[in-house]
Structure 1
Amino acid sequence: AYGGLEHKKSSSLICSRKELPTENKPEIDSDYTRFLALCSHEYFHAWWIKTIKPASFHALNLGRENYTEQLWVFEGFTSYYDELSLLRTKLLSPEQYLTLFAQTVTRVQKSQGRHKQSLAESSFDAWTKFYQQDENAPNAIVSYYTKGALLAFVLDIEIRSRSHDAQSLDDVLKLIWVNYQDTGLEDDTVQKVVAHLTQSDFTKFFDDYLYG
């Protein structure tokens, strides 16, 4: 079993014993890296879903499903930053990071469901499809975690390219943090913040990668 669940002031983490460090295995190998990425992911959620969240999540009805198109933002962006944070803190070497990133690309490319379902649809249909997968799931759906992480990467690169490396996805998150803690995000808030930050039209970008 492997996974995590974020809470406001804590998180629940499930991993294999082999993924934990021991006296005889102090180095950061692939098993321990998997655990660190899980910790990083859930820690990031303290800001990105438990504080900044979809506007509709400010009045949750816990007695029923709560639908949103924004899981690509909150889980996808988190999945991008969890391993990137390990690289930035030098817990991963560039080579280790690129190996993990290549694995994410491979998982998305191997999923035939990416041709059937957009990221926005994947987010909205999470209750009925992602969490109720059957044997045909790889052919019918795409993960908003992995493909969302790739969208975050491509968006980061595109922002850096258009701004001549003066701005990045980090700056988008900073603006959102300053301005949207009380109100939450609407489905198009990220798109609007990116356009405002860069003074550039990203309509085609999101049409292609989010809705396409």
Structure 2
Amino acid sequence: MAQPPATMIGETGVVYRLSMPAPHTHLLEVACQVKDVGAPIRLVMPSWTPGSYLLREFARHVQSFAAEAGDGTPLCWTKLDKNRWEVEAPRDGVLQVRYTVYANELTVRTSHLDASHGYVNGAGVFMYVEGREELACMLQVSAPEGWHVTTSLSCTDASFRAADYHTLIDSPLEIGTHAIFPFDVGGVPHRYAVWGRGNLDPERLVRDTQRIIDAGANFWGGLPYPHFTFLLHLLPGGQGGLEHRDSCSLQADRWAFRGREYEQFLSLVAHEHFHAWNGKRLYPAALGPVDYTRENYTRDLWVVEGLTTYYTDRMLRASGVITPKRYLERLGDMINRLQTLPGRHRQTLADSSFDSWIRFYRPDENTSNSQISYYQKGALVGLLLDLRIRRLTANRQSLDDVMRLLWERFGIHGMGYPEGALECTAEEVCGAPLSKFFDASLRSTAELNYSDELTAVGLVLTPRAGAG
């Protein structure tokens, strides 16, 4: 295995090398090098990827693990459990580990490699060195001839650099012959990296995305990142997105860029981009720093995902992508979906957040009877909370002020907020007690009281035939 110069190792802490000599086999070859190793050391493959709350057990895709010293001397190693390997200390202090990862699952949460491209979600590919997660990392990528690499990581001398392991795996890579569509918003560089073809109109998409980003920047008071990358896969039946700190991964059906399907795709863009604030920089303390080997529980996922869903449509409206009438139609559709779900009588919003690890990503034939979505109900609770604050303060304050105050106290300082922080901050902004509202909305299965808040702003909710 080729060894990077010692000065590089010293500067970066941990060096990774990624290669794919035979893409059609779906095999990614990974090498990891660490210096100053004076005792047995452990390498760990994460069990889940941040933003997707399910143990996916990425170690099941690892094969051909091997270790050696810097001089090439083989080292003994032992697998301790499902995703941890312990390697004896090398005499020269330099550890080199090699392993292969099978990558043949094309979703935003996993990795994929074939003859057409590679998509790398770092949590399922790069092991971390236990106890050295905070060290800087360097990544070298060896791709097939004619392929290029797109990622949010900074690039220096043909190597990508990350401040730490967390940043490394929060920066997915698209590797191949994908198209690049760059654009600026407020002087900040953005780009789409698009793999696949369909009826996408790049110029229209860029214009609409610029408007959405502008709306987000106006809401929060500026953009929080130095640059941003949208990785977009076009494939039959494609759907879904996953947020990252300076990028996001999106999938869409290749023919989804007309009419209501295009509107829904822009909704995905707005949702994942809003996460650049709410979710990635403003987050529950339970989700940062995380334990990559086990569940990380919080009852505030509804804040991360539900309120982001609420503000998704707000951003679409603020950007002019949808009309006021269409905004209300989408709101009505969301209410109807929840009200026709029997599970709303069985699971609270707080429990839905807490049990995401065992329920949300594992639907079955009884899901609609026993569960709700913290995306959906969380968005509606956000709506009602927003309207209540506006009503109680004669429209002088709103949920917007709550979010921005949380941002000032936690987000810009890189601190996770304690559980229940939004509830306390909402009462502070409102200047009135909201405990009954939160107890009913978050911790009970009582029906949401739409009429009081909607009536106060001149809206009438008319039940549809067949609503539960």
TM range (shorter): over 0.9
* Residues 37-92 of structure 1: CA deviation (Å, up to 9, x unaligned): 00000000000111010111222011222111111101000000111111111110
Q: Where do residues 47-86 of structure 1 align in structure 2 (5 Å cutoff)?
A: 47-86=277-316
The question of whether the paired residues in 1 share the 8 Å contact of 2:299 and 2:351 is answered with yes
Which residue of structure 2 aligns with residue 8 of structure 1? 245
Which structure would you say has the larger RCO, counting Cα contacts within 8 Å and 6 or more residues apart? Answer: 1
Select the structure of larger CA radius of gyration: 2
Which residue of structure 1 aligns with residue 422 of structure 2? 190
Aligned length: 205
Q: Which amino acid aligns with 1:59?
A: P
**1:142 equivalenced with 2:411 (yes/no):** no
Cα-Cα RMSD: 1.0
The question of whether the paired residues in 1 share the 8 Å contact of 2:300 and 2:420 is answered with no
Separation in structure 2 between the aligned mates of residue 87 and residue 20 of structure 1, nearest angstrom:
19
**1:32 equivalenced with 2:262 (yes/no):** yes
Q: Where do residues 69-148 of structure 1 align in structure 2 (5 Å cutoff)?
A: 69-148=299-378
Report deviation, 1:131: 1.1
SS of residue in 1 equivalent to 2:353 = helix
Q: Which amino acid aligns with 1:13?
A: L
Name structure 1 gaps, 5 residues minimum. Answer: 22-28
Separation in structure 2 between the aligned mates of residue 124 and residue 13 of structure 1, nearest angstrom:
25
Q: Identity across aligned pairs (percent)? A: 40
Bigger strand share? 2
TM-score if structure 2 supplies the norm length? 0.43
Separation in structure 2 between the aligned mates of residue 186 and residue 10 of structure 1, nearest angstrom:
26
Report deviation, 1:183: 2.7
Bigger helix share? 1
Q: Which of the residues 421, 437, 449 maps onto 1:205?
A: 437
* Residues 109-137 of structure 1: CA deviation (Å, up to 9, x unaligned): 11110110000000000010111111000
Which residue of structure 1 aligns with residue 165 of structure 2? none
SS of residue in 1 equivalent to 2:365 = coil
Q: Which amino acid aligns with 1:191?
A: E
Name structure 2 gaps, 5 residues minimum. Answer: 1-237, 445-468
Report deviation, 1:18: 2.5
